[in-house]
């Protein structure tokens, strides 16, 4: 798709947006909710550009916008991204085009918009939108297979896995933004025989996931078909679905995850729009011999461009590393295209096929994204083979599961020939006693 806002030759008058390796060049322009750090100002919506934030509330008052753009900006001045998300792709594309024009080199808007910038280092962030409902899927085929082998060596994947996108309803109240600290959870843990113990989780884990944000919703009872599903997707971010594996092992049968998952979920502050991802879309195919999706989960568009090429990484910084001034160490790297058994559109179409109504700002978790190799695992459960083999860290420490004071950092970015690299930023969370 030929979209001028994705032109790799575009440059911005915001100098940091032109730096090699930046997550936020002018081709990205993700949305976030912020305020100046240390203040009690109301939350406002901004656009990441280089190491700066374009404050859309301040930008609204400038005279550089056409009437249609002013209308789009008006819905964002109250710090309400959901209202904008509800307006649909034509409005999203219109504002993106106007922002791209205003922020590119040579723009006459520079003189007025320079005063609307705030360095990201001087901001604090909230979750980017109001999240009404949260569904966590299990779309990572390599993660599902590896974890399945730990518990069912002869039958790692249950019969339904390759036919239906598996998921469970999470809890939106415990979702926090990058920088979140949370207490080590407590719960029931299997003891001798079938008698449980109660205490703090000793097998606390992270999960390397993608977060998917719904834009337009659908009415109750009306499903969204594959031909329309992409029009209901607003964008993506990074998501860490923290997991208490010992609590999970005792409680998950027969109804699935509960207290092992709902104590904390951390998301990145920026939503990268589907439009920004267009250069990184690619074919969605299944290997020979794999079951093909049922008709309601299939479309020509999905086969042609349903997958997305995104590199995802997990990093760890222990309390000792932080005290010594040592940088985080990368634990693993995986690719979303290679890891996800279902596309974003398939997740949305399946979620609504029974008439379930989604709303603007609803969040999906992709499920843990792991590659086919052992060192590409997106969780400690996989990297340590269920806690049997400790990871050795460069400073001499080792880990099977997370210790108090550990900070996990997830990062993601997209690269492709003939396209400008864009990033998802990062999401960091710290475990406290």
State the DSSP code for 357.
Answer: P
Known binding residues for Ca(2+) are: 136, 207, 209, 241
Longest CA–CA separation in the chain, Å = 73
- Residue 143 among the catalytic residues: yes
Annotated binding site for substrate: 138, 152, 248, 252, 368
Strand partners, 422: 414
Q: What is the torsional sign of CA 312, 260, 348, 374? A: positive
Task: With beta carbons less than 8 A apart as the criterion, state whether 208 and 249 touch.
Answer: no
In this structure, what DSSP letter does residue 403 have?
P
H or E segment to which residue 271 belongs: none
DSSP code per residue over 297-309: G--HHHHHH-EE-
User: CA-to-CA distance for 11 and 120, rounded, in angstroms?
Assistant: 20
CA–CA–CA angle 267, 216, 65 (5° rounding): 90
Contact call for residues 268 and 404 (beta carbons, < 8 A)? no
The residue from 142, 143, 232, 350 that is catalytic is 143
C-alpha 233, offset from chain centre: 13
Q: Which two tokens stand for residue 419?
A: 């396209």
Rounded CA separation 33/78 (Å): 11
Encoding tokens for residue 355?
Answer: 């008439």
Q: Rounded to an integer, what distance in angstroms lies between the CA atom of residue 276 and that of residue 185?
A: 37
Element counts in the chain: helices (H) and strands (E):
13, 26
Q: Find the distance separating the first CA and the last CA of the chain, reported in whole Å.
A: 50
Structural contact between residues 280 and 416, judged by C-beta atoms closer than 8 angstroms: yes
- CA 74 from centroid of its chain's CA atoms: 27
Q: Distance (Å, rounded) from C-alpha 297 to C-alpha 304?
A: 14
Find, among 431, 377, 390, 384, the residue nearest to 408 by Cα.
Answer: 431
| Catalytic positions | 143
């Amino acid at each position: 798709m030929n979209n001028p806002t994705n032109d790799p030759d575009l440059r911005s008058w915001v100098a940091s947006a032109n730096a090699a390796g930046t997550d936020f060049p002018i081709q990205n322009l993700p949305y976030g909710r912020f305020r100046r750090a240390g203040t009690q100002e109301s939350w406002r919506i901004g656009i990441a550009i280089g190491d700066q934030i374009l404050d859309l509330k301040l930008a609204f008052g400038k005279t550089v916008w056409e009437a249609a753009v002013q209308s789009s900006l008006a819905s964002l001045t109250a710090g309400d991204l959901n209202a904008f998300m509800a307006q649909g792709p034509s409005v999203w594309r219109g504002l993106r085009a106007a922002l791209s024009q205003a922020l590119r080199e040579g723009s006459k808007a520079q003189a007025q918009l320079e005063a609307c910038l705030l360095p990201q280092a001087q901001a604090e962030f909230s979750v980017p939108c109001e999240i009404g409902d949260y569904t966590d899927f299990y779309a990572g085929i390599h993660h599902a297979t590896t974890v399945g082998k730990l518990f069912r060596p002869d039958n790692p994947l249950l019969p339904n896995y390759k036919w239906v996108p598996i998921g469970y309803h999470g809890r939106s109240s415990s979702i926090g933004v990058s920088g979140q600290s949370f207490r080590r959870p407590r719960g029931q843990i299997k003891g001798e025989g079938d008698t449980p113990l109660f205490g703090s989780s000793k097998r606390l884990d992270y999960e390397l996931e993608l977060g998917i944000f719904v834009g337009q919703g659908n009415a109750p009872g009306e499903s969204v078909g594959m031909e329309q599903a992409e029009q209901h997707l607003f964008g993506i971010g990074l998501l860490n679905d923290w997991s208490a594996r010992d609590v999970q092992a005792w409680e998950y049968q027969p109804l699935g995850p509960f207290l092992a998952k709902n104590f904390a979920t951390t998301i990145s502050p920026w939503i990268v729009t589907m439009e920004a991802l267009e250069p990184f879309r690619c074919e969605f195919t299944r290997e020979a011999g794999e079951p093909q999706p049922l008709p309601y989960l299939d479309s020509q568009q999905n086969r042609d461009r349903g997958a997305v090429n995104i590199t995802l990484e997990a990093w760890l910084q222990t309390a000792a590393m932080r005290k010594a001034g040592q940088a985080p160490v990368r634990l693993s790297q995986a690719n979303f295209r290679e890891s996800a058994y279902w596309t974003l559109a398939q997740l949305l179409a399946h979620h609504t096929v029974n008439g379930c109504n989604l709303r603007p700002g609803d969040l999906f978790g992709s499920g843990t994204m792991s590659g086919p190799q052992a060192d590409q695992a997106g969780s400690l459960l996989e990297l340590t083979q269920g806690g049997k083999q400790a990871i050795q860290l460069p400073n001499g420490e080792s880990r099977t599961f997370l210790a108090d004071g550990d900070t996990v950092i997830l990062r993601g970015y997209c690269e492709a020939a003939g396209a400008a690299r864009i990033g998802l930023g990062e999401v960091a969370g710290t475990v406290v006693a």
